[in-house]
Each structure stands twice: as C-alpha cells, then as structure tokens.
C-alpha cells in the first residue's frame, strides 16, 4: 500500500472530477503538505492522478501521454497499451505507482501488474486513504445531489480526518 496520498475520481451528471490530498510522507514524517498529485493531460482532455513515487508517476504520465498521441486520444487503448508496457518493460515494471485516468466518458485505474480496471459506481480511489474516500463518495452519491466536484472534495476531506497519511490540502481538476 502506498502511504502519503489519496486520489479520488468521481463522475456524475456528465462531469468528472479528480482530487488528491497534498501530503507526502516519508516513513513517519510529513515532508510536504501541498503536493499536487492531479493534473490534466492530453491537451486538457484527460484527468490523471497518482499514488506512489513522484518520479515514477511523472515517467508514467509522460508514457501515458505518448500512448494517447499514438492512439489518436483513444484513452481506453492508451491505458491497455501502457498497462502492457508497464508489465513487460524491464525499466517500467520497477516503477511503483498507481494511476487513475479519466476523460469525459470513462475512468480507469492502472497498476504495474498490468491491471487496467474500469471501476463501478462512477468512483475510483487509490492510496492509503482510498478506501475511506471511496466509502464517503459512495454514500454522498447515494444520498445527496452534490456535484462530482463537491462529492470529490467532501470525500477527501472525510478521508483526511481518518487516514494519517492524508491531509486536507485538496487539489482538484474537473472536465
């Protein structure tokens, strides 16, 4: 399990939001409170967030953008091709990170084991606070009419109150 982060993606009513906390921990020490772990890729058409090593995540973001270009912005195909490379490439398979990527239509979680998962419920979460954020988002989606952006923000706030590796400095991107 990756410590030091929570990434959550929520889709509702034609909108998708991806959010992260800002905490980076090294063992038992908080090293940074304001890290930005979410960003827009693919000329602003894809949202992405990472849990794990920052250097590894940037390498994966670059590779993913390359796959998006190679496959004419077909995100599902780019995910599968990155997943295959990540699993089989001698250099890439050593990278320790999880990615969540989303466009206006689909969301995927990618791992170094070659997993390309399209989650249920319009919600994806990874990182040490992921289960808390996921549970909060499920409850908010079922019992409120909050927007995707508001569900993501409130769910991360809740996760930050429970998980010691997640803080309340939230970065959020939306399509």
Active site residues: 5
| SS3 (DSSP) at 92 | helix
How many whole angstroms separate alpha carbon 58 and alpha carbon 65? 11
Output the six-digit token pair for 118.
């399209």
CB proximity list for 126: less than 8 A, separation 6 or greater? 2, 5, 6, 7, 49, 51, 98, 100, 109
44 labelled ligand-binding: no
Output the six-digit token pair for 81.
């091709």
89 labelled ligand-binding: no
CA atoms within 13 Å, Cβ hemisphere of 74? 7
How many whole angstroms separate alpha carbon 107 and alpha carbon 79? 10
166 labelled ligand-binding: yes
Nearest to 25, CA basis, from 48, 1, 2, 50: 2
Annotated binding site: 160, 163, 166
**Which residues participate in the annotated binding site for Na(+)?**
160, 163, 166
């Amino acid at each position: 399990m990756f410590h030091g982060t929570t990434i959550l993606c929520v889709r509702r009513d034609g909108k998708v939001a991806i959010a992260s906390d800002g905490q980076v921990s090294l063992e038992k020490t908080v090293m940074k409170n304001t890290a930005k772990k979410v960003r827009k890729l693919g000329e602003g058409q894809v949202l992405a967030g990472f849990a794990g090593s920052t250097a590894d995540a940037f390498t994966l973001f670059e590779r993913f953008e390359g796959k998006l270009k190679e496959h004419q912005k077909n995100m599902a195909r780019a995910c599968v091709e990155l997943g295959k490379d990540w699993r089989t490439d001698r250099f890439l398979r050593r990278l320790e990170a999880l990615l969540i990527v989303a466009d206006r239509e689909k969301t995927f979680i990618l791992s170094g084991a070659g997993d390309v998962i399209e989650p249920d419920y319009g919600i994806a979460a990874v990182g040490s606070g992921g289960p808390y954020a996921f549970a909060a988002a499920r409850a908010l989606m079922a019992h409120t009419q909050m927007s995707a952006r508001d569900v993501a923000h409130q769910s991360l706030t809740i996760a930050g109150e429970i998980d010691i590796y997640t803080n309340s400095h939230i970065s959020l991107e939306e399509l």
